[in-house]
Amino acid sequence: MRIALVSPKGPLYRHRGGIFPRSLRYAPLTLTTLAAYVPPELQARVELHDEGIADLEPDRLDADLVGITLITGNAPRAYELADRLRARGKTVVLGGPHPTLLPDEAAGHADAVVVGYAEQTWPELLRDFSAGRLRRRYLQGPDLSLAGLPVPRRDLLDRRRYMTSAVFEATRSCAHDCEFCVAPTAWGRKQYQKPVEEVVADIRQFGARKLLFVDLNLVSDPRYAARLFEALIPLKVRWYGLATTLIALERDLLELAARSGCAGLLMGLESLCEASLGQTRKGFNDPERYREMVADLHRHGISLMGCFAFGLDGDTPDVFEKTARFAIEAAIDLPRFAIVTPFPATPLHRRLEAEGRILHRNWELYDAQHVVFRPLHMTPEELQQGHERAWKQTYSFGAIASRLWRARVAPQVSLAANLGYRFYARNLHRFYTCDWFLGGAEPLGAGASVVAAPAPSVEVPAGVHLAGAGEPRGRGATCG
Ligand code: B12
Ligand code: SF4
């Protein structure tokens, strides 16, 4: 059996003209993970295609079964590939966040759809296919376990094409319930955890000294996080990952993270406005403590990629200037700005839909860089343009110097990353266009203009980190 696994390009992550040059790209874990689960008895030949590296020519693909992973922003490209492959008689399986959120939509372009995590269902599906009894849908079971799984087949990707292949994960899902996060809707709030010794064995076997964890929230379960950090200490690695601001409240955990080699964290600060944070169910973020937290991280030698989201219901037109000024004054190493995106099926999408505020459903623009809904206290154009201004303000030479002078953590790395971000901040329109799209989708949705977002050097999707348990305030409360 010949199996091809494909990660389609999107406007940001693509081979030509995208914003992820080799120096910012890291090897995709989804494809290598799925490759590892192919049952050995099928004796399948497996090939991986990452369209961030090279475009896939569907008319030339030679495989019996093609598995495509998709997020919302690259769903149109994935569907286009799927339709063309199916027209050639190939069997196409779709899986990943977007088919998990909208399985019925995905089913229109696939022979089978895998909903949720696929540790059990993907091997089952392949055995069914081999026996000629493929089902239309495979659902993640309640008894999912991440123990005893084979390690990702990182050997199947050409390492030279990536900044790093040292990409790992210890956990899946997150215990929080942020209104606009995909994770609780797609995968539920129970966190799945790999046994710590298996994570460590994977890192040792790979021989990584510097690595990335792509876990949604490494500190979702502080006890597990503590065990993991403890076990990392003897490895003497430097690692980057994602966490919530709650790590700063747990002094011992922060201390342990630093001792385990934590060099940088991505955190969703989201907003300086308590009302907005409460409404998005991220009330545990305390803007009053942000400055102190940044200083604390710096004292521990940890850089911060601090992510803010614009367009929350408390935001007024002065939010951009205020937030950018704050990011500079607080000495955030790498500030990052996203536009709130109501990903399909999330509570945020449902609420905005009920309020008649969704502007369109062109999934290509659901990427945290475009306005796809009507904000409450400004126009879509003001939101789009304000977001761009914030990037420029934060990455002026003066602002970079001011932030880095006070942060003083890994100055060389930070400077390089900041100069990269500055380049993108000043070339947003150049990098973000949808004109490459073969299917000829509308490049702009109603009220949306084209703006690009710099890619993180550590990694990470804006909007990933939005957690909270605050009391929603009255709709319309502002921090203006
Ligand atoms: C790594 C990552 C990236 C990398 C991806 C490239 C790379 N080299 O890895 C980079 C930094 C480029 C990136 C960028 C973006 N990302 Co991103 N990213 C992630 C992240 C953190 C990890 C994904 C991962 O590797 N997981 C580990 C693997 C093993 O798990 P998995 O992918 O979920 O796969 C499992 C199942 O889903 C399933 N499965 C998945 N695909 C398939 C396919 C088949 C055929 C089958 C059978 C099963 C299957 O099986 C796997 C095993 O169980 C996730 C969050 C997360 N932790 O899930 C966000 C996430 C996928 N990203 C997201 C977003 C929004 C973005 C950006 C739009 C953000 C931005 N504005 O920059 C961009 C878009 C880039 C683009 N494509 O154009 C969202 C997607 C939401 C959505 N509905 O679209 C996520 C879910 C984060 C979130 N909570 O919102 N991202
Ligand atoms: S945004 Fe972050 S903290 Fe909130 S639910 Fe998603 S992963 Fe968890």
How far does residue 173's CA lie from ligand 2's centre (Å)?
Answer: 8
Decide if 386 is inside a domain: yes
Same domain (yes/no): 194, 255:
yes
Verify that 126 and 182 share a domain, yes or no: no
Of 96, 202, 213, 93, the C-alpha closest to 152 is 202
159, part of any domain: no
Q: Which atom of ligand 1 is nearest to the CA of 140?
A: 53
In a domain, 221, yes or no: yes
Phi-psi region for residue 307, left (φ > 0), alpha (ψ -120 to 50) or beta? beta
Mean pLDDT of 380-400: 96
Range of the domain at 95: 2-139
Among 182-196, 326-340, 462-476, the minimum mean pLDDT is found in 462-476
Confidence check: pLDDT of 415 > 50: yes
Domain termination residue (choose one: 139, 156, 183): 139
List pocket residues of ligand 1, CB cut-off 6 Å: 10-13, 26, 28-30, 33-34, 67-69, 71-74, 93, 95-98, 101, 114, 117-119, 122, 169, 181-183, 214-216, 343, 367-369, 453, 459-464
Range 104-107, long-range pairs (CB < 8 A, 24+ positions): 106/70, 106/75, 107/136, 107/137
Q: Are 124 and 226 in a shared domain?
A: no
Note whether residue 80 is domain-resident.
yes
Same domain membership, residue 93 and residue 172? no
* Single pTM value for the model: 0.91
pLDDT for position 420: 86
Residues 299 and 352 in one domain: yes
Do 220 and 361 share a domain, yes or no? yes
Give the pLDDT score at 432. 59
What per-residue confidence (pLDDT) applies to 385? 94
E runs forming strands in 190-339 = 192-193, 210-213, 238-242, 262-270, 303-310, 334-339
For residue 57, give the DSSP letter: -
Residues 453, 74, 152, 159, Cα dihedral to 10°: -60
Which CATH number covers residue 101?
3.40.50.280
Q: Is 234 part of a structural domain of the chain? A: yes
Shared domain check, 8 and 87: yes
**Strands across the sheet containing 91-95:** 45-50, 2-7, 65-69, 91-95, 112-115, 137-139
Residue 376 confidence class, pLDDT cut points 50, 70, 90: very high
Does residue 446 have a pLDDT over 70? no
Mapping DSSP to helix (H, G, I), strand (E, B) and coil, where does residue 164 land? strand
Element housing 113 (H / E): strand 112-115
- Report the separation in Å between the CA atom of 310 and the middle of ligand 2, taken as the mean of its atom positions: 17
Closest residue to atom 16 of ligand 1, CA basis: 461
- Which residue among 71, 187, 465 is best mutated to probe the pocket of ligand 1, counting the most ligand atoms within 8 A of its Cβ? 71
- Identify whether residues 7 and 82 lie together within a single domain: yes
Q: What is the pLDDT of residues 268-327, one digit of tens each?
A: 999 999 999 999 999 999 999 999 999 999 999 999 999 999 999 999 999 999 999 999
Q: What pLDDT does residue 412 have?
A: 86
Tell me, what's the pLDDT at 10? Answer: 79
Residue 165 CA to ligand 1 centre (angstroms): 16
* Local structure of 274: helix, strand or coil: helix
Ligand 2 first shell, C-beta below 6 A: 174, 176, 178, 181, 183-184, 216-217, 244, 268, 464-467
- Same domain assignment for residues 315 and 213: yes
Phi, psi (degrees; rounded to nearest 5) at 171: -135, 165
Nearest to 328, CA basis, from 387, 272, 271, 406 = 406
Q: What is the pLDDT of residue 21?
A: 56
In a domain, 212, yes or no: yes
User: Per the structure block, which two tokens stand in for 467?
Assistant: 């957690």
Position 183 pLDDT exceeds 80: yes
User: Do residues 106 and 175 share a domain?
Assistant: no
State the Cα–Cα distance between residues 106 and 135, nearest whole angstrom.
14
Give the pLDDT band of residue 47 (cuts 50, 70, 90): very high
User: What atom of ligand 1 comes closest to residue 101's alpha carbon?
Assistant: 83
Q: Are residues 65 and 196 in the same domain?
A: no
Greatest extent of the chain over all pairs of C-alpha atoms, in Å: 64
Name which residue sits closest to atom 2 of ligand 2, judged by CA: 465
pLDDT at residue 15 above 60? no
Confidence of residue 453 (pLDDT cuts 50, 70, 90): very low
Q: Is residue 456's pLDDT more than 80?
A: no
Count of domains in the chain? 2
Of 390, 412, 431, the domain-final residue: 431
CATH of the domain at 345: 3.80.30.20
* Residue 84 covered by a domain: yes
**Percentage of the chain with pLDDT > 70?**
86
Q: Are residues 99 and 171 in the same domain?
A: no
For 94-145, the pLDDT digits (tens) are 999 999 999 999 999 999 999 999 999 999 999 999 999 999 999 998 899 9
Would residue 263 count as lying in a domain?
yes
